[in-house]
Amino acid sequence: MATFFGEVVAAPSRAGVDDEESAEEAREETPEDREIRRKLEEKRELHVLWTPGAAAAAQSSAEEPWRCSRFVVAMGRNAAAFLSSFILDSVCWEVVGAVKLWNEWCRTPSTTNVLPTDSFCLFYRLISDPTVLLCQCSCYVAEDQQFQWLEKVFGRMQKEGLQVTILSTCPVADYKTQESTLTLSSPFLKALKTKEFKEQICCPLLEQPNIVRDLPAAVLSYCQVWQIPAVLYQCYTDVIKLDTVTIEAFKPLLSSKSLKNLVKDASESTKILKKLLTTNETHNNIYI
C-alpha cells in the first residue's frame, strides 16, 4: 500500500511461530504437494511479450533497456476506456507488447484484438516518438504477481529521464473523510505523487488517512524507491461498470503536460467513447 504520508508500517513477523510447529508443517508436505505447488507457481507466472521490433523502435538493442521519456498507465476498464477514447489512435499508435497472466479472478486472452469487456494488458508506443509508451491494464494483477509485473515492465525501460503517469479508479465508499460520502459529488479525482514529481497536478492531493492499493500503489511505490517522477490520478466513483461520467472525470488530465500533446480530435473521441459503451452494453445484454 502506498501513502507517503510518513506512517511507519510494521512488517509481518513470524517471530512468535513455534519452531517445532514449522518443522512439523515442513515434514507433512509430500512430494505430491510440492509438485502441485510447483505447477501452480508456474501457472501464476506472469509473461510480458514484446513485439520483435519494439526494442529497435526505442533505439535500443534487444538486451538494453529502452529509452522511455513518458509512460502512461491506465488501470481498470474506465481508465483504459479514457485512453481509448481521448488518446489512442490506430494511425498514431501501435501495439508493442502484452501481458499474459492467470489468477483466480482473470485470464488474459491470447490476442491483442480485445473488446471493452475483456481482461487485458496491452502496451502501445507513439509512432512519431517511440520514447512515449502507454499501457491499458484492465485485468486484475494479484498481489503475488505485482512484483513480476513491475520487474518485467520497468526492467525494459531506462529509468533516467522517465516520467510516469498512473490512472486508476476506486469505489467512492473507500474514500475516507469526516463528511458523509452520500454528500460527495462523485466521480472526483485525487492525486498522489512521488517526491521527484515537480509538475503542477490537475486535481487536489489525496488527504490523510486515505491510501491506494493493488497495482497502482505498487507502481507508485516502485517509482518512489527508484526516484522516478510519478503521479497517480485516482478517480473515486460509485459506478463499477463502464460509465461515461466516470470516463470523462479524467478529462482534466488532458491539459496536463504529459498528455496535452497526445490528445486526438474531440469529435473522434466522442464517437469512440459511444462505440465502447455500446459494445459493452451489447455484451452485457447477451449474458443477462
Name the residue among 235, 219, 245 with its Cα closest to residue 153. 219
Question: Rounded distance, CA 96 to CA 126, Å?
Answer: 10
Quote the DSSP letter at residue 252: G
pLDDT score of 4: 57
Q: What is the pLDDT of residues 194-242, one digit of tens each?
A: 999 999 999 999 999 999 999 999 999 999 999 999 999 999 999 878 8
Judge contact between 133 and 125, C-beta under 8 A: yes
Quote the DSSP letter at residue 158: -
pLDDT score of 8: 45
Question: Which CATH number is associated with domain 45-51+65-272?
Answer: 3.40.50.10900
Judge contact between 100 and 46, C-beta under 8 A: yes
Q: Is 164 helix (H, G, I), strand (E, B) or coil?
A: strand
Q: What does pTM read for this prediction?
A: 0.81
pLDDT score of 63: 73
Backbone φ and ψ of 179, nearest 5°: -85, 165
Give residue limits of the domains in the chain: 45-51+65-272
Q: Where are the alpha helices (DSSP H) in the chain?
A: 19-28, 31-43, 54-57, 77-86, 143-154, 214-225, 244-248, 266-286
pLDDT score of 186: 84
Q: What is the pLDDT of residues 57-81, one digit of tens each?
A: 666 666 788 999 999 999 999 999 9
Backbone φ and ψ of 274, nearest 5°: -65, -40
Q: What stretches in the chain show pLDDT beneath 50?
A: 6-8, 10, 283-288
Judge contact between 188 and 235, C-beta under 8 A: yes
